[in-house]
Structure 1
Amino acid sequence: MHGRPGARAMSQEAVLDLAAIWLRRAEWQPTLFANELRRLDLLKLEPGWPCEPFHLRIHRNQAFEFVASVLGPFLAFGGRRAEIAYSDYDDSLALHVEGRADVDLLWLDFERYRDRLAPRELVAWLLERVQSLRARSEAPILVADCAATDAAAQELNDGLRNLAQVVPGVRIVPLSQIGAELGARTFDRRAARVTGMTLSDAACLRAARALGLVWLPAALAPRLKAIALDLDNTLYSGVLGEDGPAGLQLTAMHLELQRKLLRLREQGVFLALASRNEKVDVDRLFAERPDMPLRPEHFSATSIAFRAKASGLREIAAELRIGVDALLFVEDNPGEMAVVATEVPGVKMLHAADPALTARALDFYPGLQGYPPGRDDLRRVADVAASAQREQAARSAQSPEAYLRSLEVVLTFATNRRADLERLAELSNKTNQFNTAFLRLSEAQVAKRLADPLCRTISVSLRDRLSDSGIVGALFLRQASSTLVADEIVISCRALGRNVEHAIVTEALRRALEELPASEVRFAFREGPRNGPARAFLAEYAGRAPGADGVSVSWDPGRAARLFERLPVTVVHEEGS
């Protein structure tokens, strides 16, 4: 590869393309994140970058085409393109749409059922239809709720939210929020004979934005894990080094921007600082400007120095133990964005040209919204904050066993617990370093395994004296004749520094083998871009490196007992439910 002529030139072209792509995306922001969307402006946007296709099936009784016609720019901003297959107009929701689906969308005009079904009856019927779809498809299912705001519509929408708790992998697209925002402008019933739908053009544009920037990206990919923020002319107006803390302007929209960032942090998204300033000046800023909602303790990582921000962003990602592709960089300087695009491929970026637009963008940026709240998300920030104390304990401990003893580690195992379904699917989809197979299991696929008598899915929670990390591991196991197959083992990077991988895997296997007896354990393995830790673990555990078919070991019933004789770890088992 190194000797091929033109390889360097191709690389330079690719670098230039990355910068151009992100600058072009920045130019799109005023159109995509506008308070009032304009169809003609949206139709002018043509991406000059490759977009990954996915298959979207629409099950409907009303037109979707007026939404689909402007869906493209919103999806393209996040690098995606929809290939859409439509059902006929069908009040019975027969679910007859040919072809595969990466996402299924139920797009219904609920007014067509009002004369026949009360809200509760309509929800019961829809539950049966969604369960039927789930039996045929493992893809995420989106159900658009009712955009009306009257009492009957509210009762219906409350029922739909309950429906989403019953069927795995179902999310409700809240058209009701659009109805609340637009009020009387939500519907255009006079045009319904022509358009085939009662929603107004303004409602269709907002629905396209919600689907293209929020709900479809959330159905297709894990959430972004961190936001790295510039300071000057981003979180306030002014330049700290020139204006001093007192000379910086904190407008109402800057305050709103900072409060939205705090709300994202409360949902488990890390905040970080990436600023070209002197640290002493930044310390003065926070000391002298108590009116700033964001405080130093809200940032899980910082890079404050007069150096390339690309280096700082890489260090922030490493400190948070995430990939740069899970990081959003918010910056006001297009030149800085271009450099970061070329030097840190994969990082996401948001141009902070205007605080009001930036604040609105946080409501829609792909990968930030549309995810169900998880109890383990809320623990993530506090858990990382405790990592410095753990590192200090590791440095001062005389041995790995002494380190574990000082932490007072407790591992809790639960088998086939349905309450853990969302977190199990999340771990399968988000974990990269300790992931043995990259199955990327959907909630529907996890639910099938939970119901299969030949499968055992074990969740592992971790806590120590410094923090409760919640569910950090999952083993997806299956009996095949005299072999127990570990189809996938995933352990969050937050657990890796505590040297509990052997304890997690060995105790989970021991428990599963009590119910699914086998003389051999086979670990499936698939090479990934960053799963070196998983490969190294399997090589150590089995005594040889995994091949294309994984690696097998004969099960020694005494292995767990010998391990826990020397590991000072408390093990707890909870019943699944």
Structure 2
Amino acid sequence: MNKLLEFHSLTSSQNLKRSDLIGRVDEQARNLKINVIRNHSFELVAATLNAFLEISGLKAEFSYSDYDDAFANVDFSTGADAHILWVDLDRYDDKGREHIAARLNELSQSAADPVIIVPIGAEFEAQEPLFKADVTPIITRLGDKFFDERLADFTGTRCSPAACMEMSRLLGLRIIPAVILPGLKAVVVDLDNTLYKGVLGEDGADGVVLEPGHIALQQKLVELAGQGFFICVASKNEAEDAEHLFNSRTDFPLRPEHVTKFMVNWDSKSSNIQDLEKFLNIHHSSMLFVDDNMGELFEVSNALPDIKQFWASPDSDANARGVSIYPGLLKSKVTAEDAARSKDVQANEERRRLREQMSPEDYLRSLEIKISFMANDPEQVTRVSELSRKTNQFIFNYKRYSLAEVKAAAESSTSCVMTVSMSDKLIDSGIIGCLVAHKHEDILQVEDMFVSCRALGRGLDDVVVLGAIKCAADQLGCSKIGIEFQKGDRNGPAEDFVAKYLNEHANVPSELDYSFPQGIVEISVPELDVEEQSY
């Protein structure tokens, strides 16, 4: 449990000592190469970054550009995992800032790897795919202690050591993991002494206390729910008491509609979280579990070794700060699919009920399902990149596309980015799958195919995947199909699908004999100039 205490301090402490963090690195962590392009010194930030990256199982080594106010020799082709633009905008007048902003936004468009900009001084409006690290909250918190002009000649930057420490924490916990790793999908929280102070079974709904930190934590959970994260409750209490609590305590920012699933009973926390895995159709490595009881955290970590955990200490303010900056909970953009995610998963309960009562064909007809295929839609570049980076179960090749890579493939005459959207009478799920493929002579080479966990198990996997391949082949005029596949730790569903439907194509490119099923679902492929029809 020492790691939990250390990580709690790294995420939430306001009294970190620089001397305790310098040189700290997990030698077993995944190594990143980060290219720093700057007009002022980054070394004070880099010195403590690995301590924060450790929580995400990462470490970094840095290469540096020369100091260059003109950013005349920016090179994004260095084979780095990510690039950081470290820019003091107060080194320019208004016209100079405008020129630099336009130049950096333009240059980032061609980068194949993620580009992070950390601007200080004036405002900077970042354009996709440039990922802005907003340091405004740090400036607000530190006030006049953010800058230290006296040390600038010695350190190479106006930023104070305290500011560099906080920007290191921001980059190491929040920004770099967000552009490198798949994000988390769910936050599972306890009730007692976590969302409030007190024990529901002893103090009653009216007796538990909301401190400012508890309010801040609940507000953060509400924010995350709005961004598409699953918020779930796992608590050892009576279910009726918990229901009464949320109904009666209208001062709780977190309301029942923000919670995807309540698991309130006397079963072990690990068994409840395993049930949540099945309900949400995600792996526990995509979950953050927040609990005040070290015994519960220990029990869960033993049963579910890949789950992320956060100890809810008696300091509720610290807990709110820690969860707010925890790795994996940052999105650059919230899509329509994010907003519908929780309701879509909840609708799966109704789908399962209907499926048990009907034949497979009648079940599918009763849902009034519509599947739409769209080729090279520029409006969906962000969604495609996001889905590729967070899908772990149904994914062929783990390509983890950047925005620039998706955009380039969509604009190429020899490539195709085919998105798949799904809706039924219960909810519009939005884009649930995507195929990226390239044409080589008469062969459609499927580079990757990935499908959201929300859409799996509806009896339509073949329509989604084989339909996307068929539409892409039509789009590019290919007669043969080749499949690129690599086995990963958790893409068993994709492996089983390839073995069943595409095994020969994974070995030798060959023709795909596939037609959409008749009279089951409505298929729409408007961008391929095929009239909308039912199959």
TM-score, normalized by length of structure 2? 0.92
1:381 pairs with one of 325, 342, 355: 342
Check conservation: 1:56, 1:102, Cα contact below 8 A: yes
Question: Where does residue 50 of structure 2 map in the other structure?
Answer: 72
Shift in CA distance, 570/451, structure 1 to aligned 2, threshold 3 Å: closer
1:307 aligns with 2:267: yes
1:569 pairs with one of 522, 525, 535: 522
Q: Distance in 2 between matches of 1:98 and 1:293?
A: 46
Matched position secondary structure for 2:66: strand
Matched position secondary structure for 2:150: helix
Deviation, structure 1 residue 262: 0.8
Shift in CA distance, 539/70, structure 1 to aligned 2, threshold 3 Å: closer
Provide Cα deviations, 1:413-436, integer angstroms capped at 9, x if missing partner: 211112111111222222222212
Question: Where does residue 12 of structure 1 map in the other structure?
Answer: none
Q: Distance in 2 between matches of 1:106 and 1:483?
A: 40
Mapping for residues 463-478 of structure 1, pairs under 5 Å: 463-478=423-438
Matched position secondary structure for 1:69: helix
Deviation, structure 1 residue 71: 1.5
Question: Where does residue 123 of structure 1 map in the other structure?
Answer: 101
Question: Where does residue 323 of structure 1 map in the other structure?
Answer: 283
Check conservation: 2:443, 2:509, Cα contact below 8 A: no
Deviation, structure 1 residue 120: 2.5
Question: Where does residue 50 of structure 1 map in the other structure?
Answer: 28
* Counterpart residue identity of residue 433, structure 1: Q
Q: Distance in 2 between matches of 1:188 and 1:406?
A: 67
Mapping for residues 390-429 of structure 1, pairs under 5 Å: 390-397=351-358, 399-429=359-389
Provide Cα deviations, 1:135-164, integer angstroms capped at 9, x if missing partner: xx421000112x33xxxx23xx1xx32xx2
Q: Distance in 2 between matches of 1:346 and 1:502?
A: 30
* Counterpart residue identity of residue 518, structure 2: E
1:229 pairs with one of 171, 182, 189: 189
1:461 aligns with 2:418: no
Check conservation: 2:26, 2:59, Cα contact below 8 A: no
Shift in CA distance, 550/309, structure 1 to aligned 2, threshold 3 Å: farther
Q: Distance in 2 between matches of 1:506 and 1:96?
A: 40
Shift in CA distance, 525/551, structure 1 to aligned 2, threshold 3 Å: farther
2:493 pairs with one of 530, 533, 551: 533
Mapping for residues 176-575 of structure 1, pairs under 5 Å: 176-353=136-313, 354-397=315-358, 399-542=359-502, 545=503, 549-550=506-507, 552-556=509-513, 559-560=514-515, 563-574=516-527
* Counterpart residue identity of residue 395, structure 1: E
Check conservation: 1:59, 1:97, Cα contact below 8 A: no
RMSD: 2.4
Question: Where does residue 8 of structure 1 map in the other structure?
Answer: none
Q: Distance in 1 between matches of 2:412 and 2:209?
A: 60
Check conservation: 2:432, 2:452, Cα contact below 8 A: yes
Shift in CA distance, 203/242, structure 1 to aligned 2, threshold 3 Å: same
- Comparing 238-247 with 487-496, greater Cα deviation is found at 238-247
Q: Distance in 1 between matches of 2:369 and 2:75?
A: 52
Matched position secondary structure for 1:487: strand
Matched position secondary structure for 2:141: helix
* Counterpart residue identity of residue 206, structure 2: A
Check conservation: 1:105, 1:143, Cα contact below 8 A: yes
Shift in CA distance, 546/272, structure 1 to aligned 2, threshold 3 Å: farther
Check conservation: 1:428, 1:441, Cα contact below 8 A: yes
Deviation, structure 1 residue 501: 2.2
Check conservation: 2:147, 2:163, Cα contact below 8 A: yes
Check conservation: 1:53, 1:80, Cα contact below 8 A: yes
* Counterpart residue identity of residue 110, structure 1: L
Q: Distance in 2 between matches of 1:306 and 1:551?
A: 54
Shift in CA distance, 493/40, structure 1 to aligned 2, threshold 3 Å: same
Shift in CA distance, 37/374, structure 1 to aligned 2, threshold 3 Å: farther
Check conservation: 1:410, 1:572, Cα contact below 8 A: no
Question: Where does residue 532 of structure 2 map in the other structure?
Answer: none
State the identity %: 36
Question: Where does residue 533 of structure 2 map in the other structure?
Answer: none
1:25 aligns with 2:7: no
Deviation, structure 1 residue 62: 0.9
TM-score, normalized by length of structure 1? 0.86
Segments of structure 1 that go 5 or more residues without pairing to the other structure are 1-19
* Counterpart residue identity of residue 337, structure 2: D
1:139 aligns with 2:113: yes
Segments of structure 2 that go 5 or more residues without pairing to the other structure are 530-535
Q: Distance in 1 between matches of 2:11 and 2:472?
A: 50
* Counterpart residue identity of residue 68, structure 2: D
Check conservation: 1:229, 1:272, Cα contact below 8 A: yes
Q: Distance in 2 between matches of 1:433 and 1:72?
A: 29
Deviation, structure 1 residue 28: 4.1
Check conservation: 1:424, 1:474, Cα contact below 8 A: yes
Deviation, structure 1 residue 380: 0.7
Deviation, structure 1 residue 208: 0.7
Matched position secondary structure for 1:237: coil
- Comparing 316-325 with 520-529, greater Cα deviation is found at 520-529
1:109 aligns with 2:83: no
Matched position secondary structure for 1:245: coil
